[in-house]
C-alpha cells in the first residue's frame, strides 16, 4: 500500500524527530571514538577500556530517548497506519545525501518496533532491506583512505610519511628504523616480484584503537596483487612509540578483527566506505562482523539477521540439537548449513547449577563489555525471533518445549498461513568444534589408527589443542577472567585454529576469587571420604582439583603437564590476582608473538610471558599475553 500523497505534517514531524535522534546518536558515538586517540597518546588505558565498555550502551540509550520523545510530542503509538507509511517515506527523503544512511535506517527500525504493536509491524513500516544506497558516498572531511606512492624505491620513506599522517603527538623511539623493518617485511611478503607502475600503499585515514594499541590498516597494491596489511603501534618501554609488527594477508587481519575481541574505536564519517575497504581485505568476513568490530554492533545484528533470513531461503536443512554434551543451563541448537549456534536459557537447571535467567544474562553481558582478548566468543542477543516451524527437527521442538517452555511460542504470528516457532530470547554465536569432540576424535585415531601417519597427525592435533587450551585460559587470566567451568566441552576450536571459550554462566573476575590449596587430610577417614574435609567458601577455587576432571586420559595429561602444569597450582592464579590488584595490566597481542619486530631493542624479556616460556618453544600458537612494559596507575 504505497501512500499516494504525503499530506500529513505530523508524519514529517515524526520522521524529523527520528533522524534528529539518530544524528545525535552518531555524533556522540563518533566523538567518543575520536577521543580514543587522545587516550592512546596519554596512555590512559583504564579510560580506553572504560570507553570501550560504555560506548556499547550508547545505542540503547538513544533509542529510548527517541521513543520517549515521539510518545510525548507526537503520541506516536496511537497514530494510524497511513501516517506511519508516510513517516517512512519522509524519512527516506531525509536520508538522501546522509552519510550513514544504513545506520539511520536501523535506528528507525529500532525505534519504530518499540512503538508499534507487534501485530502492526509488517514489513511496510520498517526497513527490511536498505532503501538508500551506500555506494559512492564521499566524506566532507578526511577521505576514507589515502594512497602513498614510494618514489625512487623509498618504501620506508612512504611508511614514515603515512605514519606521520596520523599526527600522533607522542614521538616514536625510532620511526626511521621501524619503517625500514616494515619496508623489508612488505617486500618479503610480496615475494620476488617486479615493482609495477601502480605500486602503492593505501591506508584507511584513521587509526584503529583498542586497549593499548593503535593499528594502521591498509593494503599494498602492485600490478594485480593486493596485499592487506596492518601495523600495530604501541607505547615502548620508555613511553615513546614503536611499530611493533607488520601483519599481512587475510588470516592475520582476521585475527585482529576476530569476533572474540573487543570492538575497535575508529573515527569514521562514512562507515559503509570503511566496511567496503575492509571487506576487500577480508572477503571471507561477513559485513555484519565488520560493522560489529567497528563498534557498530547494532548494524552488525541487523545485517546478520538479513543474512540469516536469506540463508534460510536458500537452504533446506533442519535445525537440530547441537552436537556435543547438552548444556545444563543452555539449550543449544544449530542449522548444519549455517556456521552459528543458537542458545536459549533453559527454564530450570539441575543441581549443582544454582543460577537464574537474570544471572546468566548478566554474565553474558559482562563478557560482551569486557575485553574478550581473542578467547571469548561474542554473542548476538535477539528477542522474539520467528523461525519457520517446518525447518525444525521434531526432537528439537520437543526439547525446547520441555526445557524452555517459557521461551517458545508456536503459531502463525503474522497470519500468512505459515507456522512459526517464536523464541523469546536467544543468543547467537559462531559455531566452533567443541574441544571434547575434537579430543575424542584424536584419541580414537590414536587408539585405532588408519595408518601410522594418521596416528601421528592425530597426536599432533591433540597436543596443539591442549596447548592452545592452556593458552586460552592464560589469556583470560591476563584479562582478569576466571572461566569458572574449565571442562573441555566449554571451549571450541575456531576456523583459524584458535581455542575460544563459550560457556559464560560461571565466569567470575579473577580478582573476586580466592585461590587455595587443598589442606592436607586430618585423618584417614578424611582421605577416604568422597566429600571435601575442608570448608569451601562461595568464591573459593582449588586449582589442584581440576586434575581428575581434565586429565583422565594419559595422552591429554602428557600434553597438558608438559606445558600448563602451573594451571593446577593455586600459586599461579594467586600471583596473577595480586598483579591485577596492583594495577598491572597485561598486553594480550592479537597476533603471534613471533611476528613482533626485534624485541631485544625494547628491553623486554620473555620471562614476562604469562605462559612463563618463550613463545617459539611451543608447537602451537603461543599465548599472546605478556607483561606490559607500562603499567596502569
Q: Which is nearer to ligand ATP, 246 or 322 (CB)?
A: 322
Q: Which is nearer to ligand ATP, 62 or 431 (CB)?
A: 431
CB of 323 to ligand ATP, least distance (A): 6
Q: Which span sits near ligand ATP by CB under 6 A: 159-167, 209-217, 487-495, 518-526? A: 487-495
162, 217, 322, 486: residue in contact with ligand ATP (rule CB under 6 A):
322
323 is in an annotated binding site: yes
Residue 366 interacts with ligand ATP (CB under 6 A)? no
Q: Which is nearer to ligand ATP, 381 or 566 (CB)?
A: 381
Quick one: which of 329, 324, 621, 574 has its CA closest to 469? 621
239 is in an annotated binding site: no
Residue 341 interacts with ligand ATP (CB under 6 A)? yes
Structural contact between residues 114 and 63, judged by C-beta atoms closer than 8 angstroms: yes
324 is in an annotated binding site: yes
CB of 548 to ligand ATP, least distance (A): 17
297, 329, 380, 628: residue in contact with ligand ATP (rule CB under 6 A):
329
Q: Which span sits near ligand ATP by CB under 6 A: 160-168, 384-392, 423-431, 526-534? A: 423-431
252, 503, 593, 609: residue in contact with ligand ATP (rule CB under 6 A):
503
Q: Which span sits near ligand ATP by CB under 6 A: 82-90, 184-192, 321-329, 574-582? A: 321-329
Provide CB contacts within 8 A for 227, sequence distance 6+: 186, 189, 190, 219, 220, 221, 248, 249
The b/e string for 207-231 (b: 16+ C-beta within 10 A; e otherwise) is bbbbbbbbbbbbbbbbeeeebbbbb
Q: Which is nearer to ligand ATP, 202 or 490 (CB)?
A: 490
83, 325, 518, 551: residue in contact with ligand ATP (rule CB under 6 A):
325
Residue 505 interacts with ligand ATP (CB under 6 A)? yes
CA distances (Å), 218 to each of 191, 211, 248, 294, in order?
A: 18, 20, 10, 15
Residue 275 interacts with ligand ATP (CB under 6 A)? no
* Backbone angles phi and psi of 8, in degrees to 5: -110, 110
Residue 432 interacts with ligand ATP (CB under 6 A)? yes
Q: What is the largest CA-CA distance in the chain?
A: 89
Residue 371 interacts with ligand ATP (CB under 6 A)? no
Residue 378 falls in the annotated catalytic set = yes
CB < 8 Å & 24+ apart, contacts of 159-166: 159/183, 159/186, 159/201, 162/201, 162/203, 162/216, 162/218, 163/216, 163/231, 163/233, 163/243, 165/203, 165/205, 166/206, 166/207, 166/214, 166/216
Quick one: which of 561, 556, 371 has its CA closest to 475? 371
Q: Which span sits near ligand ATP by CB under 6 A: 233-241, 263-271, 397-405, 427-435? A: 427-435
3-state secondary structure 157-213: HHHHHHHHCCCCCCCECCHHHHHHHHHHHHHHHHCCCCCCCCCEEEEECCCEEECCE
Q: Which is nearer to ligand ATP, 36 or 345 (CB)?
A: 345
Q: What is the dihedral of CA 483, 477, 286, 253, to 10 degrees?
A: -160
Residue 597 cell numbers, joined: 619486530
141 is in an annotated binding site: no
Q: What is the dihedral of CA 313, 314, 318, 320, to 10 degrees?
A: -100
Question: Which residue has 584417614 as its cell numbers?
Answer: 524
Q: In the range 227-246, which residues lie near ligand ATP by CB under 6 A?
A: none
CB of 476 to ligand ATP, least distance (A): 15
Question: Which residue has 575508529 as its cell numbers?
Answer: 266
Residue 320 interacts with ligand ATP (CB under 6 A)? no
CA distances (Å), 341 to each of 129, 270, 372, 449, in order?
A: 24, 32, 19, 31
Write out the H or E segment, with its range, that includes residue 627. strand 625-627
280 is in an annotated binding site: no
Residue 330 interacts with ligand ATP (CB under 6 A)? yes
82, 485, 526, 592: residue in contact with ligand ATP (rule CB under 6 A):
485
CB of 490 to ligand ATP, least distance (A): 5
Cα torsion angle, 306, 51, 358, 342, sign? positive
Residue 252 interacts with ligand ATP (CB under 6 A)? no
Residue 335 interacts with ligand ATP (CB under 6 A)? no
From 267, 334, 378, 505, the catalytic residue: 378
d(CA 390, CA 496): 34
* Backbone angles phi and psi of 293, in degrees to 5: -60, -25
Residue 490 interacts with ligand ATP (CB under 6 A)? yes
Between β-strands 514-515 and 540-541, what pairing exists: parallel, antiparallel or unpaired?
Answer: parallel
105, 267, 429, 609: residue in contact with ligand ATP (rule CB under 6 A):
429
Q: Which is nearer to ligand ATP, 371 or 429 (CB)?
A: 429
Residue 502 interacts with ligand ATP (CB under 6 A)? yes
Q: What is the dihedral of CA 193, 194, 198, 201, to 10 degrees?
A: 50
Residue 368 interacts with ligand ATP (CB under 6 A)? no
Q: In the range 26-65, which residues lie near ligand ATP by CB under 6 A?
A: none
d(CA 193, CA 182): 17
Q: Which is nearer to ligand ATP, 38 or 495 (CB)?
A: 495
Q: In the range 508-537, which residues lie near ligand ATP by CB under 6 A?
A: none
Whether residue 352 has a cis bond before it, omega within 30° of 0: yes
Question: Which residue has 537447571 as its cell numbers?
Answer: 349
d(CA 88, CA 101): 13
Residue 374 interacts with ligand ATP (CB under 6 A)? no
CB of 353 to ligand ATP, least distance (A): 7
CB of 603 to ligand ATP, least distance (A): 40
Provide CB contacts within 8 A for 123, sequence distance 6+: none
Q: Count interface residues toward ligand ATP (CB under 6 A).
A: 23
> Applying CB under 6 A, which residues contact ligand ATP?
322, 324-325, 327-330, 332, 341, 343, 377, 429-432, 434, 485, 489-490, 492, 502-503, 505
Binding site feature residues: 322-328, 343
Binding site feature residues for ATP: 322-328, 343
Active site residues: 378
Amino acid at each position: 500500500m504505497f501512500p499516494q500523497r504525503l499530506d500529513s505534517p505530523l508524519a514529517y514531524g515524526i520522521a524529523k524527530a527520528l533522524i534528529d535522534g539518530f544524528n545525535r546518536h552518531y555524533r556522540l558515538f563518533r566523538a567518543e571514538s575520536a577521543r580514543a586517540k587522545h587516550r592512546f597518546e596519554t596512555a590512559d588505558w583504564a579510560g580506553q577500556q572504560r570507553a570501550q565498555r560504555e560506548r556499547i550502551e550508547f545505542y540503547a540509550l538513544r533509542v529510548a530517548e527517541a521513543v520517549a520523545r515521539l510518545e510525548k510530542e507526537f503520541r506516536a503509538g496511537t497514530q494510524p497506519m497511513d501516517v506511519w507509511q508516510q513517516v517512512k517515506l519522509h524519512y527516506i527523503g531525509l536520508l538522501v545525501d546522509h552519510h550513514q544512511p544504513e545506520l539511520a535506517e536501523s535506528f528507525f527500525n529500532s525505534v519504530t518496533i518499540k512503538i508499534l504493536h507487534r501485530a502492526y509491524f509488517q514489513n511496510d513500516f520498517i526497513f527490511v532491506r536498505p532503501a538508500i544506497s551506500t555506494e559512492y558516498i564521499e566524506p566532507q572531511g578526511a577521505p576514507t583512505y589515502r594512497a602513498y606512492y614510494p618514489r625512487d624505491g623509498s618504501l620506508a620513506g612512504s611508511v614514515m610519511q603515512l605514519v606521520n599522517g596520523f599526527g600522533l603527538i607522542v614521538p616514536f623511539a625510532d620511526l626511521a628504523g621501524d619503517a625500514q623493518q616494515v619496508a623489508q617485511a612488505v617486500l618479503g611478503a610480496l615475494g620476488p616480484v617486479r615493482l609495477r607502475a601502480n605500486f602503492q600503499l593505501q591506508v584507511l585515514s584513521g587509526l584503529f584503537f583498542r586497549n593499548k594499541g593503535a593499528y594502521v590498516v591498509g593494503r599494498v597494491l602492485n600490478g594485480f596483487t593486493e596485499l592487506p596489511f596492518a601495523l600495530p603501534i604501541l607505547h615502548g618501554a620508555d613511553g615513546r612509540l614503536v611499530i611493533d609488527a607488520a601483519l599481512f594477508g587475510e588470516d592475520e587481519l582476521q585475527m585482529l578483527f576476530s569476533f572474540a575481541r573487543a570492538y575497535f574505536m575508529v573515527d569514521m564519517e562514512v562507515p559503509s566506505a570503511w566496511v567496503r575497504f575492509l571487506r576487500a581485505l577480508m572477503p571471507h568476513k561477513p559485513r555484519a562482523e565488520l560493522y560489529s568490530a567497528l563498534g557498530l554492533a547494532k548494524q552488525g545484528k541487523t545485517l546478520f539477521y538479513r543474512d540469516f533470513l536469506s540463508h534460510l531461503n536458500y537452504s533446506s536443512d533442519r535445525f537440530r540439537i547441537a552436537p556435543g554434551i547438552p548444556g545444563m543451563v543452555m539449550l543449544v541448537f544449530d542449522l548444519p548449513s549455517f556456521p552459528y549456534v543458537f542458545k536459549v536459557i533453559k527454564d530450570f537447571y539441575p543441581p549443582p547449577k544454582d543460577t537464574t535467567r537474570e544471572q546468566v544474562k548478566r554474565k553474558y553481558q559482562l563478557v560482551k563489555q569486557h575485553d574478550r582478548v581473542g578467547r571469548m566468543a561474542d554473542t548476538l542477543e535477539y528477542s522474539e525471533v520467528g523461525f519457520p516451524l517446518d525447518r525444525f527437527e521434531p526432537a528439537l521442538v520437543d526439547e525446547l518445549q520441555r526445557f524452555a517452555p517459557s521461551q517458545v511460542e508456536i503459531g502463525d504470528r503474522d497470519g500468512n498461513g505459515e507456522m512459526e516457532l517464536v523464541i523469546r530470547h536467544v543468543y547467537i554465536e559462531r559455531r566452533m568444534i567443541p574441544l571434547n569432540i575434537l579430543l575424542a576424535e584424536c584419541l580414537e585415531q590414536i587408539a585405532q589408527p588408519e595408518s601410522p601417519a594418521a596416528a601421528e597427525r592425530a597426536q599432533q592435533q591433540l597436543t596443539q589443542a591442549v596447548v592452545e587450551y592452556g593458552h586460552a585460559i592464560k589469556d583470560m587470566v591476563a584479562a582478569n577472567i576466571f572461566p569458572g567451568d574449565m571442562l573441555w566441552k566449554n571451549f571450541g576450536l575456531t576456523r583459524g585454529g584458535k581455542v575460544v571459550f563459550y560457556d559464560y554462566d560461571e565466569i567470575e573476575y579473577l580478582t573476586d576469587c580466592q585461590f587455595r590449596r587443598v589442606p592436607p587430610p586430618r585423618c584417614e577417614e578424611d582421605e577416604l571420604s568422597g566429600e571435601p574435609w575442608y570448608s569451601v567458601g562461595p568464591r573459593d577455587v582449588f586449582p589442584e582439583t581440576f586434575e581428575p576432571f581434565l586429565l583422565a586420559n594419559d595422552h591429554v595429561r602428557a600434553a597438558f603437564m608438559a606445558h600448563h602444569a602451573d594451571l593446577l597450582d593455586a600459586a599461579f592464579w594467586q600471583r596473577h590476582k595480586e598483579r591485577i590488584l596492583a594495577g598491572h595490566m597485561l598486553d594480550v597481542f592479537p597476533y603471534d608473538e613471533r611476528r613482533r619486530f626485534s624485541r631485544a631493542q625494547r628491553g623486554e624479556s620473555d620471562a614476562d610471558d604469562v605462559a612463563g616460556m618463550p613463545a617459539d618453544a611451543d608447537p602451537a600458537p603461543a599465548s599472546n599475553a605478556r607483561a606490559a612494559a607500562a603499567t596502569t596507575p
